[in-house]
Amino acid sequence: MISASVDNDPPRHPLGARPVPTPNSTPRPAGSAGWWRDAVIYQVYVRSFLDSTGDGIGDLAGVGAGLPYLKRLGVDGIWLTPFYPSPQHDHGYDVADYHDVDPVYGDLDAFDRLVRDAHRLGLKCLVDIVPNHCSSRYPLFLQALTEGPGGPTRAMFHFASGRGDDGALPPNNWHAMFGGPAWTRVTEPDGTPGEWYLHMFTPEQPDWNWREPTVRGNFEQTLRFWLDRGVDGFRIDVAAGLFKHPDLPDSPDPEADERTRDSVNPLAWNQPEIHEVWRDWRAICEEYTAGDGNDRLLVGEVSVPTAADQARYVRPDELHQAFFFHLLNAPWDAAAFQNVITDALRDIAATGSTITWVLNNHDQVRAVTRYAAPTPSQDADLPDPGGARARAAALLMLALPGAAYVYQGEELGLPEVIDLPDEALTDPIFRRTGSRLRVRDGCRVPLPWSGQASPFGFTAGDAPGRPWLPQPEWFANHTTERAIADTDSFWHLYHEALHLRRNLPQLGEGPLRWLDSPPDVLAFVRGDGLVCAVNFGDRQAPAPVTGTPLLTSRPCPPGILPGNTAAWWICEHCTA
Ligand code: NOJ
């Protein structure tokens, strides 16, 4: 098990870095108003973080036990994925009660303790809110089923008659995001085949009808429920969803709608009415901020095609932030990274919000594996190209203006577990695509903390239950215990970068200016004198500035930036 002590580690320089310069202004406090603008938030996938009860499933008390570890890592707060009562068809994104804790994860007392402990350590605490859909076991949905057609509760969802003979065909041609049609037909209380209901994800996740005022009112109560318990904000699931075109017309290209997460059905996503909701939610958050000066954050999962589309969600009276997934989706290529960064700087920063960078989350193949594809000129001596690139990407991300989210295990350089046996897979996408897509289990395998064998300290107790997804033997190389002991580890790179970020006034918010660089290299200067350069190529390039780097993702010989490497320098005569 990890050490639970919180220390103030002196700056360490594992990779040939020189001592941290004295900042030329006071370090930015992880304070109250505006704290989110350049915060680094750690995404806790509760189910897989740390299991305090021995049942093989992570829980809130486990998160509490891990807080000192996160404090020591140097993040500013945590985002907890859904822990609400749920049949777990989509691991909590099918909520059966928005105001409670699923017994598998603890109870409300455990939640309150966790928030208190996080705050005591100076960590913010965000919870996930799932407003696009609920669980098919949600009491109001069950009531709608028993009411039958025309019942008032049916209006809170999207029930509609089918087409064709006897209404046997779905009301329109929309596809669900997780495969298959977006409609399921119900059996009416009298036993006859009846109406259809809309679900943009699985049939166990009926979509709410946001044109119905009660739905809106209920969610406002939910916000207040968690705000009253002390949370610092919300990560909003499917924040470009909620409203559907009022006529529910056929999609002109239903196949395209399910091709990628970002090629979204324009009739089911990104409707203009959504912005009124975000204005209302922002006003509620501001009410709480007015009470104590601490901003309550709304960060949206806004999957829309372009940065300009996303910018509309983060106008000053709407969401504070929206995850900028374009960085995560960019291939390991200098031009691709530069394009997405430029788009974000142009479109999102212009709203007054800050960009919210992400390289990993619980829905995506981990960066170490994504970047591992061999390239034609790859150095045969580079043992782990994906790891080298993921380290470089981390230094790049943490040098960009704005906020960042780190997904649990990212700081350990965990690769994706790509060979989970079919029978272990639980992601509904696997089932609903006829076992075609193995997308999301491999990044959700319970974290390794210590030791040489599963459960690697993830599960407490003398006779620990098996982790809910099997951990591979090679997790032994990635335990937090081992990472902390090895000063060359991913963990130390993140730790060092986060501590520098907190202490250097050039990092976090502020200007960025690109520097001229060879085609495979991106180099930019932040504020007065922090230069970051990344070599996306496989061949070494000259370093863009002289002097010893402050921090490097891999060892750098003097004056050289090796392939697949990033570095930060202090450069006194460089200005953004
Ligand atoms: C996005 C969440 O990140 C994902 O895990 C979930 O399955 C879908 N929204 C549906 O709630």
Q: For the chain, give every residue range classified as CATH 3.90.400.10.
A: 139-198
Tell me which of 128, 237, 343, 416 is the catalytic residue: 237
Beta carbons within 8 Å of 352's beta carbon, 6+ residues apart: 315, 316
Most confident of 2-11, 129-138, 264-273: 129-138
> Ligand 1 center to residue 396 CA distance, Å?
27
Beta carbons within 8 Å of 192's beta carbon, 6+ residues apart: none
Q: How far is CA 394 from the centre of its chain?
A: 15
Q: And the tokens for 27?
A: 């370090």
Q: Average pLDDT, stretch 378-399?
A: 91
> Ligand 1 center to residue 176 CA distance, Å?
12
Beta carbons within 8 Å of 164's beta carbon, 6+ residues apart: none
The answer on pLDDT for 16 being more than 80 is no
* Nearest Cα to Cα of residue 132 among 170, 88, 93: 93
Query: Which residue owns the Cα nearest ligand 1 atom 4?
Result: 363
What confidence score (pLDDT) does residue 310 get?
Answer: 94
The answer on pLDDT for 5 being more than 50 is no
Q: How far apart are CA 283 and CA 316, in angstroms?
A: 11
Superfamily of domain 139-198 in the CATH hierarchy: Oligo-1,6-glucosidase; Domain 2 (3.90.400.10)
> Ligand 1 center to residue 270 CA distance, Å?
16
Atom of ligand 1 nearest to the CA of 178: 7
Q: How far apart are CA 551 and CA 19, in angstroms?
A: 10
Give 406's strand partners.
42
DSSP secondary-structure letter at 424? G
- Express each pLDDT in 201-231 by its tens digit: 999 999 999 999 999 999 999 999 999 999 9
Pick from 10-19, 286-295, 503-512: least confident: 10-19
Q: How far apart are CA 296 and CA 230, in angstroms?
A: 10
The class of domain 512-570 in CATH terms is: mainly beta
Q: Average pLDDT, stretch 68-80?
A: 98
The yes or no reply on domain 35-133+213-503 and CATH 3.20.20.80 is yes
* Nearest Cα to Cα of residue 128 among 297, 275, 251, 356: 297
407 φ/ψ angles, rounded to the nearest 5 degrees? -90, 135
Model confidence band, residue 10 (pLDDT cutoffs 50, 70, 90): very low
The answer on pLDDT for 447 being more than 50 is yes
Q: How far apart are CA 376 and CA 77, in angstroms?
A: 40
What confidence score (pLDDT) does residue 473 get?
Answer: 97
Q: How many CB atoms lie within 10 A of CB 445?
A: 25
Q: Average pLDDT, stretch 23-45?
A: 74
The answer on pLDDT for 140 being more than 90 is yes
What confidence score (pLDDT) does residue 22 get?
Answer: 40
Long-range contact set of residues 220-225: C-beta below 8 Å, sequence gap at least 24: 220/280, 220/281, 220/284, 222/98, 222/99, 222/129, 223/129, 223/281, 223/284, 223/285, 224/284, 225/98, 225/99
Q: For the chain, give every residue range classified as CATH 3.20.20.80.
A: 35-133+213-503
Q: Are 58 and 458 in contact (CB under 8 A)?
A: yes
Kind and range of the H or E element at 145? helix 139-147
Catalytic, 188? Answer: no
Q: Average pLDDT, stretch 456-468?
A: 89
Rounded to 10 deg, the angle between the 60-73 and 108-120 helix axes is 10
The answer on pLDDT for 31 being more than 90 is no
Tell me which of 287, 317, 333, 572 is the catalytic residue: 287
What confidence score (pLDDT) does residue 431 get?
Answer: 85
Bridging pattern class, strands 356-358 and 77-80: unpaired
Task: Tell me the one-letter amino acid at 206.
Answer: P
DSSP secondary-structure letter at 221? H
Atom of ligand 1 nearest to the CA of 133: 11
Ligand 1: residues with CB < 6 A are 90, 93, 130, 201, 237-238, 301, 362-363
Q: Average pLDDT, stretch 543-560?
A: 95
Q: And the tokens for 60?
A: 């809130």
What confidence score (pLDDT) does residue 538 get?
Answer: 93
Decide: residue 55, CB within 10 A, 0-12 exposed, 13-18 middle, 19+ buried. middle
Q: For the chain, give every residue range classified as CATH 2.60.40.1180.
A: 512-570
Q: How far apart are CA 359 and CA 405, in angstroms?
A: 8
Q: And the tokens for 184?
A: 């399921």
Catalytic, 276? Answer: no
* Nearest Cα to Cα of residue 525 among 533, 534, 535: 533
What confidence score (pLDDT) does residue 11 get?
Answer: 33
Proportion of the chain above pLDDT 70, given as a percent: 92
The answer on pLDDT for 72 being more than 60 is yes
> Average pLDDT, whole number, for the chain?
92
Pick from 257-266, 361-370, 498-507: least confident: 257-266
What confidence score (pLDDT) does residue 258 get?
Answer: 57
pLDDT higher for 322 or 380? 322
C-alpha angle 266/171/265, rounded to 5°?
15
Q: How far apart are CA 133 and CA 237, in angstroms?
A: 9
Q: How far apart are CA 110 and CA 90, in angstroms?
A: 23
Return left, alpha or beta for 300; rule: phi > 0 is left, psi -120 to 50 is alpha, else beta: beta
* Nearest Cα to Cα of residue 350 among 401, 420, 285: 401
- Express each pLDDT in 224-268 by its tens digit: 999 999 999 999 999 999 999 999 999 988 776 555 544 578 899
> Ligand 1 center to residue 81 CA distance, Å?
10
pTM of the model: 0.94
For the chain, give the longest Cα–Cα distance: 80
Pick from 195-199, 323-327, 346-350, 471-475: least confident: 346-350
The answer on pLDDT for 48 being more than 70 is yes
**What SS3 class is residue 572?**
strand
- Express each pLDDT in 310-363 by its tens digit: 999 999 999 999 999 999 999 999 999 999 999 999 999 889 899 999 999 999
